[in-house]
Amino acid sequence: MPRRYFKKHLTDSQIQQIQTVFSSLDYGTDIKLGEAYKHDCAVVFFDLCNFTNISWTIGESTILEILQELFRFTSAKVNSHDGMIDKYPGDGVVAFFPRNYSIETDYIVEGALDCIAEVMYWFYDHFRLQYDLPKPSHQLDLAVGIDAGKISIAHVGSIYHSEIILLGDQVNCASKCQQVATCKELVIGQDAANRVRRIYSNYFSTGPSTGIIYTKSNSKYLSYRFDWEMFSKNSSWIDKP
């Protein structure tokens, strides 16, 4: 992976995490423009619902305050669950959780779901209560999508500007899951669901906004609602009354 990219964007602990995922040879040489590494990852898309319309009714300082605090908290939780931030696309966050092949058991979806539940719980039980928006019909909401599988971590751009981006059906499926999720909802893609169905089956459901999702490659996947609120209540980290 490109050393200059990691030195610029990651903490020392995150760099050490990447070193356990990729070989020292891969880490020591740049990915050339137009090249990519394939890796098993869970991919998560967070999105602030209707925030474009909300932003017309609040000042720039409040917009920045909301986004900055959401990005700060979400980034900290992603990092604490061994994930990485891919980008902040406008009013959302894209994160990925690469599998550590030095550990035999695959925990990437479990870690990502824990992260999502902690972010959602903080958002609804603490964060959004701080803001009294001008229009009564407006309120801060999050919608989240997740999927998992082999994705490409690619180096694209030009000599003037280049970035690391995520490519593949599971990236597209996670994005589509987020798009069909309604406010305060987490939608999980088929491949991620299959990895945790045995232990988390009680949290799955279907409904109008879920079902068959088509990716850019025209592949067909199922999607499900994941009850993050019930999941949170059964977790050890939640604030108990």
Signed CA dihedral, 17, 159, 45, 75: sign only: positive
Domain boundaries, the chain: 1-30, 34-233
What tens digit of pLDDT does each residue of 20-51 get?
655 544 443 356 788 888 889 999 999 999 99
Q: What is the pLDDT of residue 24?
A: 45
Alpha helices in the chain (DSSP H): 3-9, 12-21, 24-28, 51-55, 60-80, 108-122, 169-180, 190-200, 228-233
Using an 8 Å Cβ cutoff, are 115 and 144 in contact? no
Tell me: pLDDT of 141 over 60: yes
Tell me: pLDDT of 139 over 80: yes
Say how far apart CA 239 and CA 237 lie, in whole Å: 7
Please tell me what DSSP assigns to residue 123: I
Q: Determine the average pLDDT of the residues in 126-137.
A: 89
Using an 8 Å Cβ cutoff, are 46 and 92 in contact? yes
Pick the CATH number of 34-233 from 3.30.565.10, 1.10.10.10, 1.20.1580.10, 3.30.70.1230: 3.30.70.1230
What tens digit of pLDDT does each residue of 177-207 get?
999 999 999 999 999 999 999 999 999 987 6
Whole-structure pTM value: 0.82
Residue carrying structure tokens 């309604």: 182
What tens digit of pLDDT does each residue of 145-183 get?
999 999 998 888 887 888 888 999 999 999 999 999 999
